[in-house]
Amino acid sequence: MADLSVNIAGVHFNNPIIAASGTIGFGREYSEFYPLSVFGGISCKGTTLKERLGNPPPRIAETPMGMLNAVGLQNPGVEHFIKYDLPWLREQNTVVIANVAGSTQEDYCKMVEILSDTDIDMVELNISCPNVKEGGVQFGTSCESVGAITKAVRKYCKKPLIIKLSPNVADIAGIAKAAESEGADAVSLINTLTGMRIDINTRKPIIKNVTGGMSGPAVFPVAVRMVWQVKNAVKIPVIGMGGVTTWKDAVEMLMAGADALQIGTALFTDPYAPVKITEGLNQYLDDHNMKSVTELTHTVIV
Amino acid sequence: MKFDAQDCELVFRNQLTETIFDFRLKNKFLAEMTKAGQFVQVLVPSKTLRRPISVCDVEGDIIRLVFEIRGEGTAILADTKVGEKINIIAPLGKGFDLDENKKTIFIGGGIGVPPMLYSAKKCGKNATVINGFRNKSAVILEEDFKAFAGNVIITTDDGSYGIHGFVTEPLKECVKEAEMICACGPMPMLRNIAKIAKENNVPCQVSLEQRMACGVGACLGCAVAVFDENGNQTYKHVCKDGPVFNAEEVVF
């Protein structure tokens, strides 16, 4: 039995598997399957200052080995999260990460200031939601804007700060470096890739929002590439995500440079994916005489 | 809320029409928890998303699913052989709110017919069933409904079997004696049924479908537009709030 625990920006995780924001809500539904402590941590649904109703349906389309979504940050607002969800999540013996979305720099700063006075463990700054105009992606697509929002939020953030990066950019390594130099404690990537499907009978986009964020096994190689590029460029921890479905994917993502992982779409295919990934990862480490999962990180031989 | 993802053995497989299949899945634990009008999320090999399929019937440790081939996923599912395992998340959602002592009209349109069987059975002789199909070759489950229901009416769009026309024609004739209407089928059909129900002051529940991902209420993918208590438009979710909704709250 190897040591699966990891330390990300001073926060201890019992294992490196974190539930990805937007796929697990605030955890209550999946706690029907297993205790949420099967996850090292949970990144909560993207939360905004005020309640958001989200986008009109349909919000979902399947793609070859993946899916598109355009939920549009439907959430009950940060105060509801703090009053109703956080106390319950605190009892689940898993790291609680608040995922923060906004439309202005002031929103992000205000949210982070509010959350800094709660007992969440970490903040994940969502500057990469592709599905709403005001979802922050405008902050996430250039080195300058990522640096600026990180710098602004850092002043108000008393919690370890993760910047979640968009893959819909030209220079992912440069963007990660900009976040690091302005005070990010970690980066997580990749958010979804922007995609689109058309119903050939009606000539209409399947998703009402026209475009959506693509996730699932199909994006995995893109994620592995970007995690590797980012790990080569920064010293802060890298949380890898994007299509991780099996324990083999988890090993591969760690080798590429991830210090921890997030899984999301895999939960829809198999709710027990985190349990199976953790078991498989443990077995792999034992089989290779490794004492700790941290020995895998960034060990790809190039 | 209580559900799980488990393997079930396919113990019976029958093809009802060119595109509709009748599957019986064995799993005592899940079958005992499953109520009328709920649905299951079926894992399809090689597909990322599960397929939401309404429960047609439950008998002992058997969950019966009657589904139509709609695309690649359901086509793969239809090829499952007896003895093979199918993984489902079940039971999911909220079914019809039924009172077996009330005269209830159950209306199904096309592939909206199977979800009504288990619910209608609860009302037995108090159930009037109106099932609509495109034509004679699309008619399914007629004997299953006739085995218990007080009255079973079949309509076909082209008149090749039963009453010529839509389900709304016989509904208009029997709606006055009804105390409740439950319906599942295409949105235009549900809209027209809801209108007739309202005109006659009969409460009406409709079972809806939507493109779905998690199936358990976490991802918020399967939104449908509804009116809240103040008449403002908002969203509910088919998987957790539904699939059955009061017709009055649905934005058709």
Q: What is the pLDDT of residue A119?
A: 96
- Best A24, A28, A42, A59 member to test B by mutation, with max B CBs in 10 Å, is A59
Residue B114 has pLDDT above 70, yes or no: yes
From B91, B87, B103, B99, select the one nearest B42 (Cα to Cα).
B87
Which range marks the domain in which residue A35 is found? 6-295
- Structure tokens belonging to residue A33: 């399957």
CATH of the domain at A122: 3.20.20.70
Spatial separation of the C-alpha atoms in residues A148 and A142, rounded to whole Å: 10
Predicted confidence (pLDDT) per residue in B158-217, tens digit? 999 999 999 999 999 999 999 999 999 999 999 999 999 999 999 999 999 999 999 999
Q: By the 8 A CB rule, do B117 and B145 touch? A: yes
B4-92 and B104-207 in the same fold:
no
| pLDDT tens figures, B51-105 | 999 999 999 999 999 999 999 999 999 999 999 999 999 999 999 999 999 999 9
Residue B143 class from Cβ within 10 Å (0-12 exposed, 13-18 middle, 19+ buried)? exposed
The structure tokens listed for A207 are 């998703």
Contacts of A1 by beta carbon, 8 Å cutoff, 6+ apart: A282, A286
What is the reported pLDDT for A139? 84
Q: What per-residue confidence (pLDDT) applies to A138?
A: 73
Distance CA A12, CA A208 (A): 41
* Residues A239 and A42 sit within 8 Å (Cβ to Cβ): no
Which of B89, B218, B240 is facing A23, going by the closest CB pair? B218
pLDDT at A131: 66
| Domain ranges (residues) in chain B | 4-92, 104-207
Q: Which fold has domain B4-92?
A: Elongation Factor Tu (Ef-tu); domain 3 (2.40.30)
3-state secondary structure at position A12: strand
ipTM above 0.85, yes or no: yes
Q: Which amino acid appears at position A161 of this protein?
A: L
Q: Check if the beta carbon of residue A18 is closer than 8 Å to that of residue A39.
A: yes
- Within 10 A of B80 (CB to CB), how many other CB atoms are there? 18
Contact list, A44 vs chain B (CB under 8 Å) = none
Note whether A61 contacts B: Cβ–Cβ < 8 A.
Answer: yes
Distance, CA of A188 to CA of A191 (rounded, Å) = 8
CA distances from A284 to A258, A270, A292 (A): 17, 21, 11
A:197-236 residues touching chain B, CB 8 A cutoff: 206, 216-217
Q: Tens digit of pLDDT for each residue in B136-157?
A: 999 999 999 999 998 999 999 9
Q: How many domains does chain A have?
A: 1
Nearest residue, CB atoms, B218 vs list A24, A53, A58: A24
At A136 the pLDDT is 66
CA angle B15, B19, B22 (to 5 degrees): 35
**Interatomic CA distance for residues A255 and B142, integer angstroms:** 58
Query: Measured between CB atoms, which of A53, A66, A268 is closest to B214?
Result: A268
Whether residue A1 lies inside any domain: the answer is no
Chain B contacts of A52, Cβ < 8 Å?
A: none
Report the SS3 class of residue A217: helix
Please judge whether A57 and B240 are an interchain contact, meaning their C-beta atoms are less than 8 angstroms apart. Answer: no
Question: Which residues does A136 contact at the CB level (< 8 Å), separation at least 6?
Answer: A101, A102, A103, A108, A126, A127, A128, A129, A149
**Is A302 inside any structural domain?**
no
A129 is catalytic: yes
The torsion angles phi and psi of A194, rounded to 5 degrees, stand at: -70, 130
> Number of residue pairs across A and B with CB atoms under 8 Å?
101
Instruction: State the Cα angle at A181 between A177 and A187, rounded to 5°.
Output: 55
For residue A242, tell me if it sits in a domain: yes
Six-digit token string for B18: 């060119």
CA A28 to CA B118: how far, in whole Å?
29
Question: From 3.40.720.10, 3.90.1150.10, 2.40.50.90, 3.40.50.80, which CATH number describes the B104-207 domain?
Answer: 3.40.50.80
Q: pLDDT for A43-60, tens place per residue?
A: 999 999 999 999 999 999
Residue A3 DSSP symbol: B
Of A32, A57, A269, the CB nearest to B223: A57
pLDDT tens per residue across span B15-28: 999 999 999 999 99
- Which pair of tokens denotes residue B76? 């793969």
A56 touches chain B (CB under 8 A): yes
String of DSSP letters for A195-259? E--EETTTTEESSTTS-EEEESGGGHHHHHHHHHHHHHH-SS-EEEESS--SHHHHHHHHHHT-S
- Look at the block and give the residue holding tokens 């489902």: B88
Helix (H, G, I), strand (E, B) or coil at A62: strand
Q: Which candidate, A294, A284, A277, places its Cα nearest to that of A1?
A: A284
Instruction: Give the SS3 label for residue A92.
Output: coil
β-pairing verdict for A186-189 and A17-19:
unpaired
Helix (H) or strand (E) holding A250: helix A247-256
Cβ separation B216–A59 shorter than 8 A: no
Residues in chain A, pLDDT under 50: none
Q: Which residues of B touch A67 (CB under 8 A)?
A: 48-49, 213
Please tell me the distance from the alpha carbon of residue B69 to that of residue A224, in angstroms, as a whole number.
Answer: 36
Tell me whether residues B222 and A67 touch, CB distance under 8 A: no
Interface contact flag, A32 B2, Cβ < 8 Å: yes
Output phi, psi for A102, to 5 deg: -165, 175
Question: Is any Cβ of chain B less than 8 angstroms from the Cβ of A272?
Answer: yes
